[in-house]
Amino acid sequence: MPIVVQKYGGTSIGSIDRIKKVAARITATKAAGNDVVVIVSAMGETTDELIDLLKQVTDNPDPREYDMLLSTGEQVSAALVTMAIHSLGLKAVSLTGWQAGVHTEDIQSKARITHIHLDRINRELKEGKIVVVTGFQGIDSRGDITTIGRGGSDTSAVVIAAALEADVCEIYTDVDGVYTADPRIIKDAKKLKYVSYDEMLELASLGAQVLHPRSVECAKNYGLVIHLRSSMSDVEGTYIKEVSEMEKKDVVSGVAIDTNIAKVGILKVPDKPGIAAKLFRALGDEKINVDMIIQSIHSAGAMADMAFTVNKTDTKKAVDVTRKVARELGAEGVASDDNVAKVSIVGVGMISKPGVAGTMFDVLGRNGINIEMISTSEIRISCVIKADQAKKAMELLHKEFISGK
């Protein structure tokens, strides 16, 4: 029997009414002659509400207990979706991450999935059941529950679909596809029929939260097609897949903003070999992901300033580590700013089109938006700007490169 893997996000199962609608779609898929494996997120804003709860208990949660708490949201929705399927007269079973054989690294709150033991899922499928698995979680080598990063249910779904050798992983969400920009912000954003893995990986990593970046990475590694579509209609969504040259038309495929970043700077460090290594090794040792980095030399020549960006949630930790290194290196000081955002344009067409960066900087400059940092890859240009100008920057760039064309 063909296997269909479907993932439903928070809004799609945000109420009992929605859960019943989702159950109807799942049973119809089964009735059409497929084996069905479903991956669910927590209902609505449940995960945020769980974080609010723990904040009332502590500012510094124990990482193991944090994952223990956050993983419960998905368990609620898996059981409710399964019972809604039962009410429609079909056989179904819910499984937690560990029951489904999802194994992860021994790291709390951002573990990577390492492997899947499919025995249990296969056994349940053989018994004719629809299998409903909790997304966002797994189990580590010590037998503890881990979570895999906010928005991670997409990755759970893709990894399970790849392990089951499904042809497609259907991701059901509250928009009907991937757009050229977040359709909630840019009203004339266009829906894309296809997006290449590389472009989607850039867009997702640069703030388009519609897919978890690691889900795209994994789909690419296994050549698995993702069909991102709406849980509220039957319209065809967007296919994330290897896109042939013929299908590539536009220079810029999408614009994204990420407001979840902060900038940290170390000021007036003696400019000697090894200073960058010392700082970034110390940050790496603390598992802090650093994104953009710039270094500038003071005119006198003997001193350098360095600035880098991190996830907003890592700001305090990054500042502490940087302060420590600054003292050891004899730097003048450390500064941080979390009132910044990153605006990016992405498109494989940029490789063969000179002048795109110039146009982007010109659009921002003419409109009084100061660029604090720049980084580029072959298919992306990102600028750090002030957070309160992010929406305007996105609108201007979308108009320049996409809707105004």
- Which residues contact Mg ion by CB under 5 A? 9, 151
CB burial string 183-222: b at 16+ within 10 A, e below: beebeebbebebbbbbbbbbbbbbbbebbbbbbbbbbbee
Q: CB under 6 A: which stretch of 41-49, 101-109, 219-227, 244-252 binds ligand ASP?
A: 41-49
Give the whole-angstrom CA distance, residue 78 versus residue 62.
Answer: 26
Decide which of ligand ASP, ligand ADP, Mg ion, none touches 178; Cβ closer than 5 to 8 Å per partner kind.
Answer: ligand ADP
One residue of 173, 315, 322, 389 binding ligand ADP per CB under 6 A: 173
Choices 6-14, 104-112, 337-345, 396-404 (CB under 6 A): range interacting with ligand ADP: 6-14
Among 5, 10, 321, 356, binds ligand ADP (CB under 6 A): 10
Q: Does 219 sit near ligand ADP (CB under 6 A)?
A: no
Q: Which does 239 bind (CB under 5 to 8 A by kind): Mg ion, ligand ADP, ligand ASP, none?
A: none
Q: Look at strands 290-297 and 303-311 and give their pairing.
A: antiparallel
Q: Which does 73 bind (CB under 5 to 8 A by kind): ligand ADP, Mg ion, ligand ASP, none?
A: ligand ASP
The radius of gyration of the chain's CA atoms, rounded to the nearest angstrom, is 23
Give the nearest residue (CB) to ligand ASP. Answer: 153
Residue 47 · residue 11 · CB < 8 Å: no
Q: Between residues 42 and 251, which has the closer beta carbon with respect to Mg ion?
A: 42
Cα separation of 34 and 2, whole Å? 5
Between CA 228 and CA 286 the distance in angstroms is 35
Residue found by looking up tokens 């690294």 in the block: 105
Contact status: 37 vs ligand ADP (CB under 6 A): no
Q: Give start and end residues of each alpha helix (H) in 330-374.
A: 356-366
Dmax (CA) of the chain: 78
Length of the chain: 405
Q: Which residues bind ligand ADP (CB under 6 A)?
A: 9-12, 41, 151, 173-175, 178-179, 181-184, 208-210, 254
Given the rule CB under 6 A, which residues bind ligand ASP?
Answer: 9-10, 41-42, 47, 73, 135-136, 150-153
